[in-house]
Amino acid sequence: MAPPPRKLVVEVVQARNLMPKDGSGSASAFCHLDYDGNRRKTKTKHRDLNPTWGEKFEFPITDLTEPGSLEINIYNERKGGTRRHGFLGRVSINVADVVKQGQEALQWLRLDKRGLFSHVKGELGLKIWYEDPKPPPPPKPDPPKPPEEKKPPPEKKPEPEPERKNVSTVPPAEFHIRDVVQKNLGSAVEYNHNYDLVEPMTYLYVRVVKARNLAAKDANGTSDPYVNISVGDVKAKSKVIPKNLDPEWNQVFAFSKEKLLAPLLEISVWDADIVPPDDFLGALSFELSEIPTRKPPESPLAPQWYKLEERPGKTRVKGDIMLALWMGTQADEAFQEAWQSDTGGHAHFRSKVYLSPKLWYLRVNIIEAQDLLPPDKGRTPEPFVEVQLGQLQILRVHKGDVKGTNPHWNKDLMFVVAEPFEELLVILVKDRVGPNKEEIMGQVKLPLSPNIIHRRIDGRSVPSTWHVLDSTDKGVFRGRIHLRLSFDGGYHVLDEAPDFSSCTRPTAKQLWKPSLGVLELGIIGANDLLPMHNGTGGRGNTDAYCVAKYGHKWVRTRTITESFNPKWNEQYTWEVYDPCTVLTVGVFDNRHVNNGVAAKAAGVKDTPIGKIRIRLSTLESDRVYTNAYPLLVVTASGIKKMGELECSVRFSCASTVNCMQAYLQPPLPRMHYFHPLELSDVENLRIAAMNLVASRLARSEPPLRQEVVQFMLDTESHRWSMRRSKANYFRIANVLSGVFAVAKWFEDICRWKNPVTTVLVHILYLILVWYPELMMPTVFLYMFLIGAWNYRFRSRSPPFMDSKLSQGGEDPIRDLDELEEEFNVVTGNKTEQVLKARYERLRGFAGRIQNFLGSAATQGERLQALLSWRDPRATSIFVTFCLVAAIVLYVTPFRVVAVLLGVYVLRHPKFRDPLPAVPLNFFRRLPSLSDRIL
């Protein structure tokens, strides 16, 4: 019997700011959902531009490898029974990017147009997730066989316990939930959701369902009941149900056991009054020691009716309340929806999962223009093209090959866009009238629609189109422009620095390769955090939360309020497609806890406490690394330690062979080598991509704030600073120290400081001169021996941020001046604009030199990493190659090796592959120290 398919669940919550369509300034909206041939329809909300549906729909996902997309169209229902409903907008969602049940969050999606002339505005609020089928019940046991003649059982020796391979330094929790996702070629990647990387935290769960037959306390014969829950000083309050004697709350409350200092749980029901005090409706009390413990995957505890009791001095109590009480852990499915005591009761500060928008490179090929109408007919125009996308991406194509009214350019401009496409592509043809004076000759505005712009995954040419230039003078022909537009999905859109990128996959999903394994991160807690802001009573306080980023998936833990040693104990999972990538984890102070609305209005930003980076290639497969990493941040007074972050990480690869093979593949998709981007454009595109990701994630609900995303992506890493330049200089000096050490050793040999060593060098020199064919195998054998010797000195844990490497401040006076220069552009930047521009230009040039020094140091550090075992897989590959090469070269004549090598180097271009050679791919994937610099 085939297992039931995975389910896609869509909750259509609300729409807002819809376009009026009924002629009276309103609309009667309904949603039409279409997925894989299955169609659903919501109810119609009449005359409402901000309709609320709150309806759930389920669709079966039959193909897990290519799940397709979900399309939701919003229509205006017209009167008279006509079938042609007014179109209000649509959204399209890639089902492959949908999160699992329990990780969903309300997301607002901008409504897209159906065609060029559609008039659409507004947003649609959705919650969307997938649910895996429940496992079938175990088979019933066979009926017992009739008893046979009894024989004494043979003695059994106690069997030894099976040896555990992956022993975590963290005690495992008492719950185990497995989700196995089948991959291509019959392989499987196992998702471990049993919270074995973190410590189990005990919570008291209280589910308040409903009440019945409550006493009427108001003059109108009803009450406005709510529930108070308290355990000592820890208190919580349910929502108020107005004018109802049989209210339904359906709320869950979770109280951390660490904060439960009293032995009794008190639950009381009250009638909310405008003028206090509120009226008492009844109460209950339970001893905490009598509350049962639930261990998933057990079924949820069934709620029960309890009779409300009186309290001294309280009268007229009647009615019942339905409750469910149990002790559980953070693995309980009710934890995500529960009011949590350690978050201060703020629903926005619970843990959430976010997805980066899907980024594309937009290529705009400006070919030519014809029949331009010059502003001044007595002068030959000097036309150029300015292309604008949004407010931040503006590029120009300067003078064409032919001046006048028919210029020819044939230039490519590259932009970064994100799905869903919202901006307009504005193409302006301008005439340079004089110095610093320009006039618009015409313009074209194009929506980023797949009907207009073609998508491609390779270098094949797409059709070009002519567009008539528009102007303010209606009916006047201003000329036309020839364009070729395409969304290039064969590239990887860089939104991180290349040295610590977490993803290298192309945009087009059909080019993705199967995943290599699973990355699991357990965020345990932080220790000894410093006070980050003033709390109640003027005391220093910290409300900390963590953000982790890998690939397109961001996770944010819940905010632990008023604690310098917060304990999160949350575990997250990512799929890994490339082992030479970096996981980034940051810690932040939430400045929106007590006055969220006021803080947002005042522009208050969350403060970074520090971050760590973990390169996956430095982790051994299936091993748990549990460490406390220092949290360092650069301030105007130097590098400061803000505390420690304790976390566990495990990288499990499905196939060691596939993981090793990834080291021999190009780091980036093929399009980067067949059709490389201009070097000057790469950094500008990366900055545009970072800003786009930050702005989109800031629009989530609750938002992942822009300052958080920018800190995680190192938006300012390209800017020049004396500190980074010094760090790169000392990195190069450290790389060259080995060369200087060899030169010093050779000088000591020549001076006969150690006669025995000098005599051995003479003997080795004579052997190599007499048998030159032994030179290369001897070199490879020597490197193999060095690598084998260094194995015992390899690092046992992932490296962390290095304040000394980052040049944090050995010389206080000099370093404070340099840090002030890094944080403050220039003293006169507010009034002397020319001085500011020149200084910024100088900083830009110095930044390029700084990046060049960093690149040079990176290459040298990669050479050192060949034998240092920082990347165990890479060093093992290289050491094995050296041993094999030494053996082969010892038995192969030198002339044969020289001939084969020469023929290979001088081969015809038709036998050359545009992709980088395997040794170059391997070298580019080696780790450097760049990911340890702040």
Of 299-308, 680-689, 832-841, minimum mean pLDDT range: 832-841
Strand partners, 442: 429
**pLDDT over 90 (residue 491):** yes
Instruction: Name the amino acid, one letter, at 352.
Output: K
Structure tokens at 660: 């090793």
> What pLDDT score was predicted for residue 804?
63
Of residues 185 and 658, more confidence is placed in: 658
**pLDDT over 90 (residue 488):** yes
Query: What are the tens digits of pLDDT across the range 53-82?
Result: 999 999 988 777 778 889 999 998 887 654
Reported as a pLDDT band with limits 50, 70 and 90, residue 315 is low
**pLDDT over 90 (residue 359):** yes
Query: What are the tens digits of pLDDT across the range 194-251?
Result: 678 888 888 999 999 999 999 888 888 899 999 999 998 888 999 999 999 999 999 9
Distance CA 644, CA 627 (A): 10
DSSP 299: P
Reported as a pLDDT band with limits 50, 70 and 90, residue 187 is very low
Q: Which of helix, strand or coil describes residue 538? A: helix
> What pLDDT score was predicted for residue 832?
59
One-character DSSP codes across 3-42? PPPEEEEEEEEEEESPPP-SSSS---EEEEEEETTEEEE-
Of residues 524 and 860, more confidence is placed in: 524
**pLDDT over 80 (residue 833):** no
Structure tokens at 367: 């070919």
Structure tokens at 274: 């405008």
* The 3-state secondary structure of 710-769, one letter per residue: HHHHCCCCCCCCHHHHHHHHHHHHHHHHHHHHHHHHHHHHHCCCCHHHHHHHHHHHHHHH
**pLDDT over 80 (residue 446):** yes
**pLDDT over 90 (residue 802):** no
Reported as a pLDDT band with limits 50, 70 and 90, residue 829 is very low
Average pLDDT, the chain: 81
CB–CB of 858/733 below 8 Å? no
Of residues 842 and 715, more confidence is placed in: 715
Instruction: Name the amino acid, one letter, at 274.
Output: I
Query: What are the tens digits of pLDDT across the range 551-561?
Result: 999 999 989 88
> What pLDDT score was predicted for residue 364?
93
> What pLDDT score was predicted for residue 362?
94
Of residues 750 and 355, more confidence is placed in: 355
- Compute CA distances 340 → 203, 238, 349, 350, 525, whole Å: 9, 12, 9, 8, 17
Reported as a pLDDT band with limits 50, 70 and 90, residue 472 is low
Burial readout 820-851 (b: 16 or more C-beta within 10 A, e: otherwise): ebbeeeeeeeeeeeeeeeeeeeebeeebeebb
Reported as a pLDDT band with limits 50, 70 and 90, residue 809 is low
Query: What are the tens digits of pLDDT across the range 583-629?
Result: 999 999 988 876 655 455 567 888 999 999 999 988 988 889 998 99
**pLDDT over 90 (residue 442):** no
Structure tokens at 113: 């147009």
Torsion angles phi and psi, residue 277, rounded to 5: -85, 155
Alpha carbon 287 to its chain centroid, in Å, reads: 44
Q: Which of 431-435, 471-475, 585-589 ranks highest by mean pLDDT? A: 585-589
**Closest CA relative to residue 581, chosen from 514, 644, 509, 659:** 659
**pLDDT over 60 (residue 127):** yes
The single residue listed with the structure tokens 């005439």 is 431
Of residues 141 and 194, more confidence is placed in: 194
Query: What are the tens digits of pLDDT across the range 153-178?
Result: 444 444 443 333 333 333 333 333 23
Q: Which of 177-186, 383-392, 798-807 ranks highest by mean pLDDT? A: 383-392
Q: Which of helix, strand or coil describes residue 344? A: coil
Structure tokens at 170: 């963290």
Burial readout 88-108 (b: 16 or more C-beta within 10 A, e: otherwise): bbbbebebebbbeeebbbebb
Of residues 219 and 898, more confidence is placed in: 219
Distance CA 679, CA 684 (A): 10
The proportion of the chain whose per-residue pLDDT surpasses 90, expressed as a percent, equals 25
Distance CA 54, CA 43 (A): 10
Which pTM does this prediction carry?
A: 0.66
Distance CA 344, CA 594 (A): 9
Please state the rounded mean pLDDT for residues 290-312. Answer: 86
Reported as a pLDDT band with limits 50, 70 and 90, residue 784 is confident
Of 465-479, 512-526, 838-852, 872-886, minimum mean pLDDT range: 838-852
Q: Which of 266-270, 334-338, 862-866 ranks highest by mean pLDDT? A: 266-270
Please enumerate, as own/partner, the contacts of 401-404 that have beta carbons within 8 Å and a separation of 24 or more.
Answer: 404/380
> What pLDDT score was predicted for residue 81?
52
CB–CB of 333/195 below 8 Å? no
One-character DSSP codes across 468-522? EPB-SSTT----EEEEEEEEETTS----S-GGG-S----SSGGGPPPP-EEEEEE
Of 282-286, 473-477, 607-611, 897-901, minimum mean pLDDT range: 473-477
CB–CB of 515/652 below 8 Å? no
One-character DSSP codes across 835-884? HHHHHHHHHHHHHHHHHHHHHHHHHHHHHHHHHH-SSHHHHHHHHHHHHH
Show the CA angle centred on residue 263, arms to residues 258 and 266, nearest 5°. Answer: 100
CB–CB of 236/317 below 8 Å? no
Distance CA 790, CA 797 (A): 16
CB–CB of 513/577 below 8 Å? yes
Of 94-98, 688-692, 701-705, 849-853, minimum mean pLDDT range: 849-853
Reported as a pLDDT band with limits 50, 70 and 90, residue 897 is confident
Please tell me whether the peptide bond between 247 and the residue prior to it is cis, using omega within 30 degrees of 0. no
Of residues 360 and 808, more confidence is placed in: 360
> What pLDDT score was predicted for residue 772?
78
| Ramachandran quadrant class, 762 (left: phi over 0; alpha: psi -120 to 50; beta: rest) | alpha
Alpha carbon 427 to its chain centroid, in Å, reads: 33
274 Cβ contact list (under 8 Å, min separation 6): none
CB–CB of 104/127 below 8 Å? yes
Reported as a pLDDT band with limits 50, 70 and 90, residue 112 is confident
Instruction: Name the amino acid, one letter, at 742.
Output: V
Reported as a pLDDT band with limits 50, 70 and 90, residue 39 is confident
Reported as a pLDDT band with limits 50, 70 and 90, residue 473 is low
Please state the rounded mean pLDDT for residues 495-503. Answer: 86
**pLDDT over 90 (residue 415):** yes
